């Protein structure tokens, strides 16, 4: 024996159900919608997405990593320079601009913050 209960709904919701249910009765339609919603939620739980916060954190970490590489190579080049000589700032800027131009020509994006 099936146990029945009464569900009290606003008139607007009942009208939406009646407009969409076709040949199904209200109980069958509501059961179908609930099962459909639950199956969609199970599918979306298995899909992995990146949140905006995670993406921003990744971007900040990558910029810090790139900055640390730049700092290392600047310090290395300034210390040793060409043939042990101190490199002047203008020459270093020219090298950086050359790297930027090279990236732009290959369709990449070059920014240094």
What is the phi/psi pair of residue 24, to 5°?
-75, 150
pTM: 0.37
Q: Please report, for the chain, the start and end positions of each structural domain, with discontinuous segments joined by +.
A: 11-46, 52-105
Query: What average pLDDT does the chain have?
Result: 79
Write out the chain in H/E/C secondary structure.
CCCCCCCCCCHHHHHHHHHHCCCCCHHHHHHHHHHHHHHHHHHHHHCCCCCHHHHHHHHHHHHHHHHHHHHHHHHHHHHHCHHHCCCCHHHHHHHHHHHHHHHHHCCCCCCCC
- pLDDT band at residue 56 under the 50/70/90 scheme: very high
pLDDT higher than 80, residue 42: no
């Amino acid at each position: 024996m099936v146990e029945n209960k009464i569900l009290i709904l606003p008139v607007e919701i009942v009208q939406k159900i009646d407009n969409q249910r076709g040949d199904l009765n209200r109980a069958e339609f509501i059961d179908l919608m609930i099962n459909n919603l639950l199956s969609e939620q199970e599918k979306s739980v298995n899909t992995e997405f990146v949140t905006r916060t995670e993406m921003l954190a990744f971007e900040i970490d990558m910029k810090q990593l790139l900055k640390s590489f730049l700092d290392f190579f600047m310090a290395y080049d300034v210390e040793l320079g060409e043939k042990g000589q101190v490199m002047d700032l203008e020459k270093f800027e020219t090298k950086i601009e050359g790297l930027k131009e090279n990236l732009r020509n290959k369709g990449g994006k070059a920014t240094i913050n």
